A = this chain, B = another copy of it.
Amino acid sequence: MKLLEEKVLKEGAAISENILKVDGFINHQVDPVLMKAIGEDFAAHFKDQGITKVVTIESSGIAPALMTASAMQVPLLILKKSPSKILNKNMYQTVVTSFTKGTSYELTLAGHLISEQDHVLIIDDFLANGEAATGAIRLLRKAHATIAGIGILIEKTFQPGRAKLEEQGFSVYSQVRIAKLEKDHIELLAQEESSTL
């Protein structure tokens, strides 16, 4: 997606070979105009697939996922990172371990908000090792929901997330594909490769 690619190149900051800082427009400060365009792009890519809900993981996926749900005119489901006091009955849960952050958390989904009739689109900000997306899929399968695909804002193509998801037969669409990061340098995947998605 041209608009997001330009934004990443112009305003993103490569901190190291693994860390891309996008806190000025995605994670910490959010550009609503960009988010609306991101949502419309996902809605266009995954249109006519009978998607009933958009699903994301709190919290940096919420903004793009809400704009996607808004463009698709379906509800948004936010998978919660820890069990709340209030949500405790009829709950699906799974543990997700993030190698990137060196932490584990419990992902939860209230059973009454999902059913085997649901065909969902998963939206997340980053795809690196694929732990979050894999956790979301595990949780959705417990509820017997089906998965239409996975939409990602920024994919680190040098990490194994996409391969893991595609091996399981999932369709992955990333708006920006990073080929390489090094301090102060961001390299996108060449357009030809990118467009063969």
CB atoms of B113 and A75 under 8 A apart: no
Q: Is A10 an interface residue (CB 8 A)?
A: no
Interface residues of A in 18-35 (CB under 8 A from B): 19, 21, 23-24, 27-33, 35
**What copy number does this chain have within its complex?**
2
- Is A153 interfacial (CB 8 A cutoff)? no
Chain B residues positioned under 8 Å from A9 (CB to CB): none
- Per a CB cutoff under 8 Å, which of B23, B32, B109 touches A66? B32
Number of A residues contacting the other chain (C-beta, 8 Å)?
38
**Residues in A57-101 with C-beta less than 8 Å from chain B:** 58-59, 62-63, 66-67, 69-70, 73-78, 80, 85-87, 101
- Our pick among B30, B67, B77 for the contact of A29 (Cβ within 8 Å) is B77
Evaluate whether A28 and B80 lie within 8 angstroms (CB atoms) in the complex, with A21-B86, A86-B15 already known.
yes
Q: Which 3 residue pairs across A and B have the least CB separation, nearest first?
A: A59-B59, A32-B70, A30-B76
